[in-house]
């Protein structure tokens, strides 16, 4: 079959930063190609809808698959699917990805027949079987929705705002160090983002990968995400990777007060978080942290956060507390959602009632996010990256330089407020609602839990995870 893989358009924050290659979709495309299918991929983060329709018209794919990792992209996917299906009703269309796995029933309802199926869970093992079933007119429901560079997959913790653990059933599986090193050796690009949810949970595995990389003499610039407690526990691993080329680290602090950490079930003390920041600085790498702004914040809280952001050298990203399908707060949040418009679920809009009037909440939010702009974008960034910017401009690549001054045109409280006034064509089904009966979070699991045997970590690391997860460490 001729298969076209489509990554949807970028979201609000990707217009300024964090535009990543569609690794998950590339992995699906790779297994389909290995099975003999003719596969092409289009990324609407950098290309247009017109480019997509032109490609479909000229190439005439038999199947089109969409990556549904981000909830805010769902309306775009549905509209594209309806248009593509109308042009050729016999063309097979399906959607996969993280958010699609939690909202499959809604997607099929909205699509009204334009989308043939949603592939839930990890798609590599099922995509080929699905395509084969579609080609022979078989029963799609018999295909299991089973169970980058990616060193490991899954997360053994259970933060209330995150759906990684409900997606993977709190499993954690690691890949062969030798296979990873071979893949790294085959990558021509100088920069590699390690996409693990939490990098180097298992110290021995991290060291084995590093040693395999070192033996092959591979030199790259590495970027990763991790937790503060993992960073402190496995300091030698991160020091080793600094020698191998680790340059950028993202740490999810989420809060700078004990109450906030408790609400998100981030069971690490403030002192440990700040100790982790100090250690990361000592490595001489660029460090970014994330804080979650709750809609219940008042002016004083925003001001406190702004002052803290100004006092530290790290890049501070501010996201908005958002109950996503698949998260524990989607099930247990006491406050009633103010909107079920997928497009507002991008961690930059408030979908819970705000303590401040909504226009004022957005003004305070953007004023706080402006700290990042003043400290790390514009002329400040250009001075630090003049060589990179010059090389890109000489090649005719202007996106990087334009991005440095794009902040004010994207992060604008008037635009965010106007987004709430858009006509809503597709609305999510609401959460089940608060009841006196206890809610079983495991009912949201995409891949069922397998307990201890589903986590490929040693006993000491398992104990560390349990201690930090339960707040006893």
Q: CA-to-CA distance for 450 and 325, rounded, in angstroms?
A: 22
With tokens 């590495």, the residue in question is 222
With tokens 């009037």, the residue in question is 357
- 144: three-class secondary structure by DSSP: coil
pLDDT in tens, the chain (473 residues): 999 999 999 887 666 666 778 888 898 899 899 999 999 999 999 899 999 999 999 999 999 999 998 899 999 999 999 999 999 999 999 999 888 988 888 998 899 889 988 888 877 768 888 888 777 766 555 554 422 456 777 777 777 777 777 776 677 778 889 989 998 998 888 888 888 888 998 899 999 999 999 999 999 989 899 989 999 999 999 999 999 999 989 988 888 887 877 777 777 788 888 999 999 999 998 888 889 999 999 999 999 999 998 888 888 889 999 998 888 888 878 788 999 999 999 999 999 999 999 999 999 999 998 876 676 655 554 455 555 556 656 666 655 555 556 677 788 999 999 999 999 999 999 887 655 555 666 666 766 666 666 677 778 877 877 777 754 44
Answer whether 288's CB lies under 8 Å from 248's CB: yes
- Name which of 20, 456, 467, 465 is nearest 206 in CA terms: 456
- Name which of 168, 87, 76, 158 is nearest 121 in CA terms: 168
With tokens 């008037």, the residue in question is 414
- Confidence (pTM): 0.75
Q: How many residues does the chain have?
A: 473
Query: What are the beta bridge partners of residue 42?
Result: 6
Q: CA-to-CA distance for 84 and 92, rounded, in angstroms?
A: 10
- Name which of 46, 9, 15 is nearest 410 in CA terms: 15
CB contact set of 35 (below 8 Å; sequence gap of 6+): 128, 131, 132
Quote the tokens at residue 124: 């590599």
Answer whether 152's CB lies under 8 Å from 196's CB: yes
Interhelix angle 74-87/104-111, nearest 10 degrees: 40
Q: CA-to-CA distance for 437 and 435, rounded, in angstroms?
A: 5
With tokens 């914040």, the residue in question is 297
pLDDT of residue 309: 87
- Which residue segments constitute the domains of the chain, with CATH numbers given? 2-142 (3.40.50.280), 152-467 (3.80.30.20)
């Amino acid at each position: 079959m001729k298969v076209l893989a489509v990554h949807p358009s970028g979201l609000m924050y990707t217009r300024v930063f964090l535009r990543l290659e569609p690794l998950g979709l590339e992995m699906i495309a790779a297994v389909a190609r290995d099975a003999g299918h003719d596969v092409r991929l289009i990324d609407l983060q950098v290309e247009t809808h017109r480019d997509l329709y032109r490609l479909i018209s000229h190439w005439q794919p038999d199947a089109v698959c969409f990556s549904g990792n981000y909830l805010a992209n769902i309306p775009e996917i549905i509209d594209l699917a309806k248009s593509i299906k109308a042009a050729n009703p016999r063309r097979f269309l399906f959607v996969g990805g993280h958010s699609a796995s939690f909202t499959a029933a809604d997607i099929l309802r909205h699509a009204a027949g334009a989308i043939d199926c949603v592939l839930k869970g990890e798609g590599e093992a099922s995509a080929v079987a699905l395509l084969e079933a579609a080609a022979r007119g078989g029963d799609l429901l018999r295909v299991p929705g089973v169970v980058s560079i990616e060193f490991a997959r899954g997360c053994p913790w259970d933060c209330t705002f995150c759906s990684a653990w409900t997606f993977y059933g709190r499993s954690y599986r690691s890949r062969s160090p030798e296979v990873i090193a071979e893949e790294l050796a085959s990558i021509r690009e100088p920069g590699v983002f390690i996409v693990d949810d939490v990098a180097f949970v298992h110290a021995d595995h991290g060291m084995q990968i590093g040693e395999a990389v070192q033996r092959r003499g591979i030199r790259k610039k590495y970027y990763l995400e991790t937790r503060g407690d993992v960073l402190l526990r496995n300091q030698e691993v991160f020091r080793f990777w600094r020698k191998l080329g680790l340059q950028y680290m993202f740490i999810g602090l989420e809060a700078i007060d004990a109450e906030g950490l408790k609400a998100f079930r981030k069971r690490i003390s403030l002192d440990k978080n700040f100790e982790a920041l100090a250690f990361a600085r000592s490595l001489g790498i660029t460090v970014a942290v994330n804080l979650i702004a709750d809609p219940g914040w008042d002016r004083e809280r925003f001001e406190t956060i702004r002052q803290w952001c100004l006092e530290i050298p790290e890049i501070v990203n501010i996201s908005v507390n958002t109950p996503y399908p698949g998260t524990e707060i989607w099930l247990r949040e006491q406050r009633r959602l103010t909107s079920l418009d997928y497009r507002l679920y991008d961690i930059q809009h408030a979908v819970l009632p705000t303590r401040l009037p909504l226009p004022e909440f957005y003004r305070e939010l953007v004023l706080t996010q402006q700290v990042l702009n003043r400290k790390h974008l514009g002329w400040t960034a250009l001075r630090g990256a003049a060589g990179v910017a010059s090389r890109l401009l000489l090649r005719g690549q202007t996106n990087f330089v334009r991005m440095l001054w794009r902040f004010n045109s994207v992060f604008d409280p008037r635009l965010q407020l106007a987004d709430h006034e858009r006509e809503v064509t597709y609305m999510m089904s609401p959460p089940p609602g608060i009841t006196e009966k206890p809610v079983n979070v495991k009912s949201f699991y995409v891949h069922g839990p397998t307990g201890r045997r589903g986590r490929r970590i040693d006993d000491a690391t398992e104990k560390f995870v349990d201690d930090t997860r339960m707040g006893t460490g």
